[in-house]
Amino acid sequence: MAVQFFDVKTREKVDVDEANIAKTKYERTTKSGSVQVRYALRGTLADGRKVTKFVSKDVWDSMDVPEE
């Protein structure tokens, strides 16, 4: 199953095969001290560039890809 990403360099949508996708979490501490977590999918294009797509936790959990 391919996932659609937006390629910022070429300004077009690209499909990345699931074999070239990894999931990752971005965590940061806010000013008030709480931790904010954002879930993302990272795809690798044919020329080696990385593309990122932020997704909901439900989509992130449902993806059966390795975590970075």
| Residue 1: predicted pLDDT | 81
Amino acid at 27: E
| Residue 45: predicted pLDDT | 96
Integer angstrom CA distances of residue 19 from 41, 45, 64? 12, 11, 10
Q: What is the pLDDT along the chain (68 residues), one digit of tens a residue?
A: 899 999 999 999 999 999 999 999 999 999 999 999 999 999 999 999 999 999 999 999 999 999 99
pTM of the model: 0.89
Backbone angles phi, psi at 48, to 5 degrees: 95, -5
